[in-house]
Amino acid sequence: MSTVIATPKPGKPWTATPQQRLITASIYLGAVLVSFTLVAITPMKGKLAYFVVFFFSSLLIDFILSYIQRGMASAKDAIARGFVSVGMTLAVLPIFSILFEVVKRGYKGLNINLFTKDMSLTSVNDPIGNGGLIHAITGTIIMVAMALIVAMPIGILTAIYLTEIRGKFAAPIKFLVQAMSGVPSIVAGLFILSAYVYPITGALSGFAGSLALMILMIPTIARTSEEVLLLIPNDLREAGVALGGTQWRTVALVVVPAAKSGLVTALILGIARVAGETAPLVLLTGGGEKVNLNPFDGPMGSLPIYIWKCFGQGTEESIARAWSGILVLLVIVLALFISARFLSERKVAK
């Protein structure tokens, strides 16, 4: 009698059995029941009351069940798990509700004119199909691009100073860069207003706006690039120098190429940081209604200003325009973040 030993079926013995799932489900069911009962019989009212009662009762039931089944350590684990999940929920709830609200209110205003026309011939009460925000899109792109052209080398060179050269001033500069990333954007705007606009040009312009954006962008790029460069193993620097390279050539040929995708991420985060900045642009750009491709002359529109103005006008049409503007801005920023994530993940895959 030959017994054929069959290959066992692949499974996941560590996952929850139906019985365990039933227990988990009943914990939540119980908590729901408790919250309904308590809200009904006590003076507590509203969504918040449901949420709070549900949270604490599910935590309590989970705690007791875990204690009975597996002891105190497991019960504490259940408590920690409960708080972590509620923290996560509270963190993502606003994000999703913002997205939901923006899409709900903004999509109605979407039409092709948004991307082909400006607001120079449109008044506040015109229907939403009249006029568009091409002047704002071009303005934002020009100002952010100009800020990036200056902030990119400054930010990355600062990071290289902090991680590669590690000179005497590394510690104070690191501190300053961190402090600078906390500078309120209105302060950057006022600084450019008093240091550039009043004494030099005397007129508002897109360039003045991009200077303020640059001030806000540098610390973001410098800090992110620093983190990225710190991840490059020291072995590579030593290998480069041991091959007879000077420090500069080692940094340029070995360290920076190895960190390239991370540095691209740093730039995109820098762009995303300033793309929605409003306060300094209100002070500095004049916020025109017409497409203006010359940043050195005349007022320049931008998406945040467009949104801010439209809300200020207060008519039904202009508020709808504002929501469409928010949607466009959000999509641009989201696209940047997704591409940043994509680029940094590709680095890990290598």
Shortest distance, position 49 Cβ to other proteins, whole Å? 55
Strand segments, DSSP code E, in 27-119 are none
Give the CA angle between residues 311, 328, 318 to the nearest 5°: 25
* Residue placing its CB nearer to other proteins in the complex, 27 or 267: 267
Site for other proteins (CB under 8 A): which residue of 98, 179, 230, 238? 238
Site for other proteins (CB under 8 A): which residue of 180, 236, 320, 333? 236
Shortest distance, position 293 Cβ to other proteins, whole Å? 37
Site for other proteins (CB under 8 A): which residue of 1, 5, 40, 242? 242
Shortest distance, position 240 Cβ to other proteins, whole Å? 6
* Residue placing its CB nearer to other proteins in the complex, 45 or 350: 350
* Residue placing its CB nearer to other proteins in the complex, 104 or 166: 166
Stretch that binds other proteins, among 257-265, 266-274, 302-310, 322-330 (CB under 8 A): 257-265
* Residue placing its CB nearer to other proteins in the complex, 94 or 244: 244
Is residue 333 within 8 Å of residue 276, measured between CB atoms?
yes
Is residue 255 within 8 Å of residue 232, measured between CB atoms?
yes
Decide: is 239 part of the binding site for other proteins (CB under 8 A).
yes
Site for other proteins (CB under 8 A): which residue of 13, 18, 233, 314? 233
SS3 at position 286: strand
Decide: is 253 part of the binding site for other proteins (CB under 8 A).
yes
Decide: is 257 part of the binding site for other proteins (CB under 8 A).
yes
Stretch that binds other proteins, among 52-60, 87-95, 256-264, 298-306 (CB under 8 A): 256-264
Stretch that binds other proteins, among 71-79, 94-102, 170-178, 250-258 (CB under 8 A): 250-258
Cα 336–chain centre separation: 9
Shortest distance, position 350 Cβ to other proteins, whole Å? 7
From the CB of residue 143, how many other CB atoms can be counted at a distance below 10 Å? 30
Site for other proteins in 259-298 (CB under 8 A): 260
Give the up-direction half-sphere exposure of residue 172: CA atoms within 13 A in the CB hemisphere.
Answer: 3
SS3 at position 163: helix
Which 3-state string (H, E, C) describes 178-246? HHHCCCCHHHHHHHHHHHHHHHHHCCCCHHHHHHHHHHHHHHHHHHHHHHHHHHCCHHHHHHHHHCCCC
Site for other proteins (CB under 8 A): which residue of 258, 268, 281, 322? 258
Site for other proteins (CB under 8 A): which residue of 11, 13, 244, 314? 244
Closest CA to 215 of 239, 238, 247, 187: 187
Token digits of residue 122: 């449109």
Shortest distance, position 271 Cβ to other proteins, whole Å? 24
Stretch that binds other proteins, among 107-115, 128-136, 181-189, 238-246 (CB under 8 A): 238-246
Decide: is 240 part of the binding site for other proteins (CB under 8 A).
yes
Closest CA to 326 of 271, 270, 276, 269: 276
* Residue placing its CB nearer to other proteins in the complex, 103 or 236: 236
Strand segments, DSSP code E, in the chain are none
Token digits of residue 331: 């999509």
Site for other proteins (CB under 8 A): which residue of 136, 148, 177, 254? 254
Closest CA to 212 of 190, 228, 232: 190
Decide: is 348 part of the binding site for other proteins (CB under 8 A).
no
Give the CA angle between residues 253, 228, 91 to the nearest 5°: 160
Shortest distance, position 45 Cβ to other proteins, whole Å? 60
From the CB of residue 147, how many other CB atoms can be counted at a distance below 10 Å? 25
Tell me which residues touch other proteins (CB under 8 A).
Answer: 233, 235-236, 238-246, 249-250, 253-254, 257-258, 260, 350
